[in-house]
Amino acid sequence: MPAFSRIPTVLKPQEIIDKALLKSSKVSEPYFPDFIKKIRSEVIDKISTVESVSTVYLRKLINKFPSLNSLYPFYRGMIGLMVDLDQYRISLSHVQWASDKIVELANLKIKSSKKGRTVQELNKNLKEFYGRFASIIKDLDKDLTFLAECRAKIKEIPDIKMDYPTFIIAGLPNVGKTSLLSKLTGSSPIIAPYPFTTQSLFIGYTNIGNRGVQIIDTPGILDRPMKSRNEMERKSILCLQDLEGILIFLFDHSGSSGYSSQEQENVYNEIKSNFKIPVIRVQSKSDIIQEKKEDIQISCLTGEGLEKLKEIMLEKINSDSRWI
Ligand SMILES: Nc1nc2c(ncn2[C@@H]2O[C@H](COP(=O)(O)OP(=O)(O)OP(=O)(O)O)[C@@H](O)[C@H]2O)c(=O)[nH]1
Ligand SMILES: [Mg+2]
């Protein structure tokens, strides 16, 4: 499930008004011997129905849109790339203001309805309330339109578990990243589109030792020089370092991936200088190459080196104060 899949649909002002008025039109008091008491009671019920239907919805919006202050840096960074954060705060605060205003207005009109002595007086009160209520909601038009756009964008952010030690597999195309992910996690990965790139993250989970870990394969994302990226792509890729994970950079020195060792070294150096997170260098496809160029060699075909890699991953987790 995407990280922010629970943001409710953002209704248009008229839809909110219709929703509230429809509910209030169904209010009808049972038989009252005193006609004016019946009308008074109905008017008060209608006002509080409109108030509760609308404010419950508006507060739901406020609560379900992520609060920027309590977000993990990765999510805040991503959202910041997609939407104007100042406008985001302002629009949510307008929604809050409208909700408070409706409560205030309803209280006022309920109070005066309690004193209403004639049907005309009571109906006038109700009409005034409806009118003011509708104009408060209509004033939210721009904010609701903006929030609807935010919702559509925020929903694209991949769901990554922030409380798990995370390993990010990088390396040029064809070096064996996906093979390593499936060797380590066994199960089929969760595929999450990565904003601003045409690519997806492949996310898998497993236990190493007794630790639950998250492993992310990044095809097409961490596999070429950053300078070949456009601005937004670059920024969104740099958000990955906010996951505070550990990079596993795979080198295929066998030549079978179609990239020379030097080309791979260049991308490695570039990523290393852009990403302020630890990196483990790993040589892949050890079954087809005799030469040991890295300290750690693995083969996803024969399983060679995988246990050693896991031990190193576990050491990294255990020596990191965040995961103790
Ligand atoms: N001999 C051998 N072949 C391997 C090994 N690991 C992966 N391969 C092969 O190398 C090719 C690429 O492997 P993938 O795991 O798809 O590589 P990748 O890095 O995920 O590739 P992209 O997603 O395109 O970037 C496939 O044909 C694999 O079967 C290995 O350890 N030994
Ligand atoms: Mg792959």
DSSP labels, 76-99: HHHHHHHS-HHHHHHHHHHHHHHH
Question: What is the per-residue pLDDT for 4?
Answer: 85
Residue 2 has pLDDT above 70, yes or no: no
Please tell me whether the overall predicted TM-score, pTM, comes out greater than 0.75 for this model.
yes
**Atom 14 of ligand 1, nearest CA residue:** 176
- Top-confidence residue, 250 or 32: 250
% the chain with pLDDT above 70: 99
* Ligand 1 pocket, mutate which of 179, 216, 217 (most atoms under 8 A from CB): 179
Q: Sign of the CA dihedral 115, 117, 120, 121? A: negative
Question: Is any atom of ligand 1 closer than 6 Å to the C-beta of 301?
Answer: yes
Buried/exposed code over 197-219 (b: 16+ C-beta within 10 A; e: otherwise) = bebbbbbbbbebeeeebbbbbbb
Question: Is any atom of ligand 1 closer than 6 Å to the C-beta of 289?
Answer: no
Question: What is the per-residue pLDDT for 103?
Answer: 98
Q: What's the CATH superfamily of 166-323?
A: P-loop containing nucleotide triphosphate hydrolases (3.40.50.300)
Average pLDDT, the chain: 94
Q: Where in the chain is the domain with CATH 1.20.120.1190?
A: 13-154
- Looking at the DSSP assignment, which residues form a beta bridge with residue 16? none
What is the chain's length? 324
CATH code, residues 13-154: 1.20.120.1190
Question: What is the per-residue pLDDT for 1?
Answer: 52
**Atom 1 of ligand 1, nearest CA residue:** 285
For residue range 274-317, what is the model confidence (pLDDT) as tens digits? 998 999 999 999 999 889 999 999 999 999 999 999 999 999 99
The C-alpha R_g of the chain, in whole angstroms, comes to: 29
SS3 at position 248 = strand
- Mean pLDDT, residues 211-238: 92
Question: Is any atom of ligand 1 closer than 6 Å to the C-beta of 173?
Answer: yes
- 107 contact partners, CB below 8 Å, separation of at least 6: none
Question: Is any atom of ligand 1 closer than 6 Å to the C-beta of 288?
Answer: yes
Picking from 7-21, 41-55, 128-142, 212-226, which range would have the lowest pLDDT averaged per residue? 212-226
Do 248 and 169 touch, CB atoms closer than 8 A? Answer: yes
Ligand 1 atom showing the smallest separation from residue 298 Cα: 31
Q: Which amino acid, 223? A: D
Q: Are strands 190-193 and 211-217 parallel, antiparallel or unpaired?
A: unpaired
For residue range 111-128, what is the model confidence (pLDDT) as tens digits? 999 999 999 999 999 999
Give the distance (Å) from ligand 1 centre to CA of residue 175.
5
Q: Where in the chain is the domain with CATH 3.40.50.300?
A: 166-323
SS3 at position 279 = strand
Ligand 1 atom showing the smallest separation from residue 284 Cα: 31
